Chain A
Amino acid sequence: MPTSNDKVNPSDEHQLKILRMRAQQLAQKAVSDEVTSGDLLDLLKFTINGELYAVETKFVREVQANRGVTPIPCTPSFIAGVHTVRGEIISVLHMNLLFGLKPGSSSGGKIIIVNDSKQKIGFLVDEVVGVSSLLISDLQPPLSTISHEQAKYVRGIAEGPLVLIDMDALLNDGRIIVEEEVED
């Protein structure tokens, strides 16, 4: 195992990363003591409006083809509607609108269903690119130019460029909760 003190040029470093990930995949649990799970993030990568995003796989329950999301009247525009998965009703959100980005020409071909202990929510994305691992140390802070509103949901950016979404922050943000009465 190379140590971080080794002098490596960027492409070496990239190769090392790949090798380490392969080793991780091959060895599975046998080496999990050597590379502590904290070093690596398992990511699901996807695109919205041609930009690359990722969420940690630990939040992802499943990915579904978008067979049609039923729009629900009188909901904020970031709510795309509801989707049924084996009899269960799941709210589907437009991630880009939640980020304060423009609607753009997202095809919304896939729905990524994420959950934590409290809720299960779907997000419309264009394409799922695949699964990969990322060293936490390779994660950089979000660009200082993005708005505060967006930065709240961004855990960091990585090579690609890839924006890692802070799903914890997103799921626990009170602003995604819709609770509206018709006043008298």
Chain B
Amino acid sequence: MSSADPGFLAKLRQAFAMEANEQLHAISNALLELEKGPTTQESKTLVEVMFRQAHNLKGSAHAVNMTSIEAVCQHLEAVFSAMKKGELVASQQQLDVLHSTVEVLHGLLAADGKITDPVSRSIATVSEQLAAILSSGQGTALEIKPETTTPPAAAVAETAAAIPAAVADRHATMDNIRIAASKLDDLLLQAEEMLSVKRAAVQHALDLSSLAEEAQEWRKGWQKIDHNVRALRRLVERHDSNKNGGAHTELSHALGNVQKVLEFLEWNGGRATGWLSKLEMQNRLVDSDMRTTSSIVDTFLDRTKKLLMMPCAVLFELFPTLVRNTSRQLGKDVEFKMYGTEIELDKRILAKIRDPLVHLIRNSIDHGVEDSASRLEAGKPPRAQVTIAVNQVDSSMVEIAVSDDGRGIDVELVKKAAVKAGLLTDPEAAAMTMQQAVDLIFQSAFSTSPIITEISGHGLGLAIVKENITSLGGKLVVESEKGRGTQFKMFVPTTMATYTGILLNVRGQTVAIPKANLERVVRVKPSEVQSIENNSAILLDGIMVPLVQLADLLELPERRTEPGQVPFYLVAVVRVGETLLGVIVDAILEEQEVLVKSFGKPLNRVRNVSGVTILRSGEAVPILNVADLIKSARRLGSAAHVATKMEPRTRKRILVVDDTLTSRMLMKNIVEAAGYAAEVATDGLEALTVLLEQPFDLALLDVEMPRMTGLELTKKIRQNQKLHELPVIILTTLATKEDKERGVEAGANAYFVKSSFDQNSLLDTIKRLI
């Protein structure tokens, strides 16, 4: 295989990236250790480690032809070499530069060595800074040298001692092999596929066993009648032999037939009894096979899942650098400790808690802990503590706690702000427990409010963090004591679990919702639907629950013909936290164990749908994201009005005309999300044809389009007898006053500039026009 083989090079680079990541982490960790003021001997070893890692990285970068990484490493190595020779003792600022160099290398690695403009600038910056360190090192070498009291010979001896230790380490890991994570993912996929084999085996065994039971019924029947048949046959035989040669030929002929029938019946009975025994035998065998298969599949899946378990340390090794950089940036003195990092979690869970943990740690440093001066004033040690601790709660759940000893959450202020924001009334606030008040910070309307950011001690996006953890089947709680500190506890499952889903049918499509989110199912007469400020709701146990058509939330195409009067709506009441929502569905099908699979690219994040599950039948079914549904219902608002009397409800139709796909999609989504039905056309001419063929309530037009521009189309619409009253809104990139005037002149009802338009004012205008 030649090195020009692109496949080989790709594999090589993959291996390189893995190795390089480890080398960079080793350098990062050594730099962090170096800052803690180690003894001279320790720092020698650390520098030696860094030097070797930088040197090796440079070599491998060269091998895979990543010249940018190689160049940066060259500088890095030179600095470490100077430190090694004792010509340089890095100052805090210089360590900062080394840290940022490692960051730059990480960036290059992530970009696969591709150099973008900002990257090349940062390469230039760190290279200059490293060169500056080197020249300073040579200048100050004499001043610093006295600090290194170890005689050179001893230093060499120590270094030499350190190397065999490293080699021994490598020996110890001979039992471990490196496997690309993607291969394990493939394996897991196959293992999960076995789950449907197991489900099928269970189903087949059940079918066979009910067949055997039915056959048992037959056996009972046969046993009851068996002796009658035999008695009858004997009787006929006797009669036949007595009357042999007699005159009653007709009767004896008939008796002969009866005898044949009886013989066959008896033979059948014997055969069927035999088959029945075989069936029962097969049933037992299949049942035992099913049990074996089930247990093997379960064990197989379980072990495969364990392969994907990785110690938290894999993720947490990022955090010391994160804490260090954040606290230096904010001018705070923070000591960071990690506990329980050896506890293992599914790597998919680890990947999903990464952002939430980074968020919580940043929050603790930014808003949780005070600066040294304030701490001294409050009678605390000047150095703040931030801790992350992992605890195994049980075999399926771990707790990850992010704690700080900062100022804590002032619940009284939080309550006041909540009242001010209209989330609570005064008496409600007074009645709140401490915990309820603290939990207010998770409310999305709340945690994003700037006033709260300052006083709660915790910043934006806690609602998002909580949502992410909840979507993993975990939970997030917060405990805080004013003046003493705050602790966020995250409970997450150790592996990606299966859970029970409820299958629903809406407009012919099957969808699943997590059973945990389904509060109850009710039937509601149209006359029981109440209308509050144009929003629909139903009264359930004294609580008004908003009601929407699930099909509207999911933007499903309208039925060709809406059914007439229905006697009742089937309503699934879903819940997230304290929020309830009623969604109208066509049918509730069944419960099934579902395994959530995320969409691959290009579906990174889909509104209202969290993933897909595969049913026993092999059919893929979307799993709804209930938290999203509740938000969508809020957005839809009155547009999702549910008919209280079954008047045939027709959505207003809007034609979106734009020659670029993106704008078209965007506009279509905006108007559809507001409850209108949208059609699209790609230019003026096509739009005109469509408008003449189908009824529309409004047209949204782009100006610059091939074949016929928006202005020309507007004029045509105004001149057409059938269309001249159609409201027209022009959307354009042209922003001058003349352009606007030309639009109005052509007969447009409204004019929006694409770059600066506000979605709500567009929707308001549409509402006003139709």
Contacts and interface: CB of A to CB of B under 8 A. Distances in A.
A175 B662 contact: yes
Interface string A144-183: 0001010000000000000000000000000111111111
A91 B631 CA distance: 25
Given A73-B554, A121-B601, A184-B445, A87 B635 contact: no
Interface in B601-621: 601-609, 612, 614, 618-621
Nearest to A120: B600
Interface string A83-95: 1101111110000
A17 B463 CA distance: 64
Given A87-B614, A177-B604, A76 B665 contact: yes
B661 A74 contact: no
A62 to B, nearest CB: 15
A86 B632 CA distance: 33
Contacts, number: 116
A73 B608 contact: yes
B603 A79 contact: yes
* Most chain B CB within a 10 A radius of its CB, from A89, A119, A149, A175: A89
B184 interface: no
A43 to B, nearest CB: 20
Contact of B603 (A75, A83, A98, A147): A75
* Most chain B CB within a 10 A radius of its CB, from A68, A82, A118: A82
Given A182-B608, A184-B445, A89 B622 contact: no
B555 A73 contact: yes
Contacts of B190: 86-87
A21 B660 CA distance: 40
Interface in A68-110: 68, 70-79, 82-84, 86-91, 98, 100
A117 interface: yes
Contacts of A149: 659-661
B122 interface: no
A85 B634 CA distance: 37
B209 interface: no
Interface residues of A, number: 39
Nearest to A180: B607
A73 B556 contact: yes
A77 B445 CA distance: 32
B657 to A, nearest CB: 13
Interface string B648-684: 0000000000011110010011000000000000100
B193 interface: yes
A178 B604 contact: yes
B605 A179 contact: yes
A60 B662 CA distance: 27
B94 interface: no
Contacts of A88: 189, 600
Interface in A127-143: none
A102 B615 CA distance: 33
Contacts of B56: none
Nearest to A90: B600
A62 B659 CA distance: 33
Interface in B574-610: 597-609
A83 B619 CA distance: 9
A70 B601 contact: no
Contacts of B619: 68, 70
Contacts of B614: 84, 87
Contact of A119 (B554, B602, B612): B602
A23 B323 CA distance: 65
Contact of B601 (A75, A87, A177): A177
A70 B612 contact: yes
A76 B632 CA distance: 16
Contact of B661 (A73, A87, A100, A184): A100
Nearest to B672: A74
Contacts of B193: 86-87
A72 B607 contact: no
A115 to B, nearest CB: 10
B12 interface: no
A24 to B, nearest CB: 20
A70 B622 contact: yes
Nearest to B680: A77
The 8 closest A-B pairs by CB, nearest first: A87-B193, A73-B554, A119-B601, A74-B607, A70-B620, A182-B631, A179-B604, A177-B602
Given A86-B190, A149-B661, A180-B607, 7 more contacts: A72-B606, A73-B608, A73-B622, A82-B603, A89-B600, A119-B600, A147-B659
5 contacts: A71-B509, A86-B190, A91-B601, A175-B662, A180-B606
